[in-house]
Chain A
Amino acid sequence: MDKNYVTNLLLQFVLILVQALVFNHIVLFDVAIAFVFIYIIIRLPMDMNTNWLLTWGFLAGVVMDLFSDTPGVNAVACTVLAMVKTPMLYAYVPRDDRTKNIYPSLASLGFSIYGKYLLSMTLIYCVLAFSLEYFNFADVKEISIMSASSAAFTFIILLSVDSLIASHREKRL
């Protein structure tokens, strides 16, 4: 197994812990929550086998569900997120550039493409997670407010993490 995947797996566990212990308890203005644990699914290399990617998403979701007492919510949302990952990125990347960079990141794709990709992914996850949790048409208002604000909050946090990593790498080179 690639060393990269082992690092990613470790990071995934760390992020789930951080999510459960810290970010789940930070609710901005009573509506916005940052879902940092989906970061690894977003950042996994594009040449990864889709079946493995789906397994990764499902298991990460199940473990997250155990921590937050929401059985099924994250499992379904993360499986769907893993499924739409490739089509979502390829919707923004020109056909010729697809094989050049297999690691989606701020440094490799630039802000315009990576930003759009990251925002779409966080929005999809948030809409799914909140809809599954409330599961009631009467709560459409809450679902949309919480999804939009949480997606924005998650986007800002993940983008800042990304820019930190990018600037750190540049300094080393």
Chain B
Amino acid sequence: MRNILEFILRYSKWFVFTVYLLLGVLLLVSNNSYQQSVYLTSANMVTGNIYNGWSSVSGYFNLKSINESLQASNAELQNQVFNLKEEIAELRTQLADSAFDPRDAERFDFISASVINNSTRHPRNYFTINRGRKDGVMPGMGVVDQNGIVGIVNVSGNNMSRVISLLNETQHFSVKIKGSSYIGSLTWKGGDATIGYVEEIPRHATYQIGDTVVTSGFSTTFPEGIPVGVIMNRVRNQDDSFFTFKVRLTSDFKALSSVRIIKDIYKNEIDSLATLDLQLQ
């Protein structure tokens, strides 16, 4: 017995080292699961509040460029609203009142938030926003800024949430080429924060360099038609039955500041139908 104790004491540093190493590896492995405890992320109370305080100082740095892009997007939106109003008024005259369902127009609700911590240098990037469960932010909601989509909420605490950035190698987004119905999948492959890839577009799809890529709307996360990027060129890939495009992302991920979280009022309904379908299979 004494020998065992002596042995343990003598090599104690190796035991301690092994224990810490195992704990570290455990943390490393649990990082991959989607459901994560909020305490293990930057959305926890302490780090969240520190980032929040700091962003009230550093938030002023990019104001000029953010203001410019907001103005541009505002002008475009006003233009769209004007055109749509005219179009609706014209179409209304051709339709019976009963055919118009106002609920569809109110399907998506937006919650505005500020980005308080952001990274673009990791292979799996996340950012933290200053809205949480108290404000109605739940995991799985889509996040957009004035230029296009930026991520999906991953963990939400009471006052902060952590968002999986579009710049995350594990994340895929359902997208299509604007004006067509060919669906593909958008991923980021590390490195340059302005370049993404759209994969699995069928070969017979027609496209042009400079076409806009938008969200497909085939999920409850993003409504249809939110810009994602612009096609730069086609990439050669091994699988000949699909196109892969290199895409310049519309959002500037190095200067994220104000974002909106998208809330789909049909989300629970659609998700429960999907799980019901799985159960039936």
A: residues with CB less than 8 A from B are 17, 20-21, 24-25, 27, 30, 33, 50-51, 54-55, 57-58, 61-62, 65-73, 75-76, 79-80, 83, 132-134, 139, 142
Answer whether residue B50 sits at the interface, using C-beta atoms and an 8 A cutoff: yes
> Does B218 make an interface contact (CB < 8 A)?
no
Contact residues in A for B20 (Cβ distance below 8 Å) = 54-55, 57-58, 75, 79
Nearest-CB distance from A29 to chain B (Å)? Answer: 12
Return chain B residues, CB-CB under 8 Å to A20: 47, 50-51, 117
Asked if B41 and A72 sit within 8 Å, CB to CB, the answer is no
Report how many A-B pairs have Cβ atoms within 8 Å.
97
- Chain A contacts of B172 at CB under 8 A? none
Contact B21 A133 (CB under 8 A): no
Q: Does B7 contact A (CB under 8 A)?
A: no
User: Which residues of B line the A interface, CB within 8 A?
Assistant: 12-13, 16-17, 20-21, 23-31, 40-42, 44, 46-47, 50-51, 54, 58, 117, 119, 121-124, 126, 128, 162, 190-192
Measured in the bound complex, the distance between the Cα atoms of B11 and A50 in whole Å is 11
User: What residues of A have a CB within 8 angstroms of the CB of B124 in the complex?
Assistant: 133
Q: Main SS of the interface on chain A?
A: helix
**Once the chains are docked, how many angstroms separate the CA of A67 from the CA of B117?**
9
Query: Can you list 22 pairs linking A and B with CB atoms under 8 Å apart?
Result: A20-B47, A20-B51, A21-B58, A51-B13, A54-B13, A54-B16, A54-B17, A65-B27, A66-B44, A67-B42, A67-B47, A67-B50, A67-B117, A69-B41, A70-B31, A70-B122, A72-B29, A76-B24, A79-B20, A79-B21, A133-B123, A139-B190
Query: Once bound together, how far apart are the Cα atoms of A7 and B122, in whole Å?
Result: 32
Contact at A58–B28, with CB atoms within 8 Å? Answer: no
The answer for the CA separation of A70 and B124 in the assembled complex, in Å, is: 9
Q: Are A139 and B25 in contact (CB under 8 A)?
A: no
In angstroms, Cα B23 to Cα A133, docked, is 16
Whether B121 contacts A33 by the Cβ 8 Å rule is yes
